[in-house]
Amino acid sequence: MGFFLDARPGRQWLRERAQGKRVLNLFSYTCSFSVVALQCGAAEVINIDMAKSALATGQRNHALNGLPPERARFLPHDVFRSTRNLEDLGPYDLVISDPPSRQKRSFEADKDCARLLQQLARMLAPGAEILACLNAPYLGAAFLPELFEAHLKSCEYVERLPQREDFPEKDLDCCLKMQAFRPRGA
């Protein structure tokens, strides 16, 4: 997604890393992360979201920002049913994953994040970094690092991106969690 105000630290993280990279933007919604990546010199961005209308808005966002259409793809697919296609389009240097916390019959974070990480393992280029975002108040800050440790052992937790100072939260376990991961030993 990346569209919301509290996602600004994630967009900044991406700005610092996008130059020349192939980016996979999972659950892309209106493609805000894609716009930032391409503005900062990403070689290509693959946007995937089940909602065709959200991707259509994403395409308009790219056009409004004067971004070259040949450097972005918009795939209206279910992440889990498009694994082979995403593998064929990869590998990816940067992955942004910002799934819904609960969306009936498509994604439920507490059940599906582990399966997503298992599939990502086959799509990563050497040295690939991941920004995993999750806005699920019922899942604490340790949820994603523990899943990476169990299901994507090739990556290690780096940091949780800070909350915006102008968007304070009382309970950091209940707000948006943006956590960065990289290959072990990198």
Predicted structure pTM score: 0.90
Name the band, by pLDDT with cuts 50, 70 and 90, for residue 1: very low
Token digits for 65? 């920002």
Read off the pLDDT of residues 43-95 as tens digits, 9 standing for 90 and up: 999 999 999 999 999 999 999 999 999 999 999 998 888 889 999 999 999 99
Helix 32-39 with 8-15: angle, nearest 10 deg: 30
Domain ranges in the chain are: 5-183
Read off the pLDDT of residues 158-180 as tens digits, 9 standing for 90 and up: 998 887 666 666 666 656 788 99
Instruction: Specify the CATH number of the domain 5-183.
Output: 3.40.50.150
Measured in whole angstroms, how far is the alpha carbon of residue 172 from the centre of its chain?
20
Closest to 43 measured CA to CA, from 83, 64, 73:
73
Name the band, by pLDDT with cuts 50, 70 and 90, for residue 2: very low
Instruction: Say what the pLDDT of residue 105 is.
Output: 66
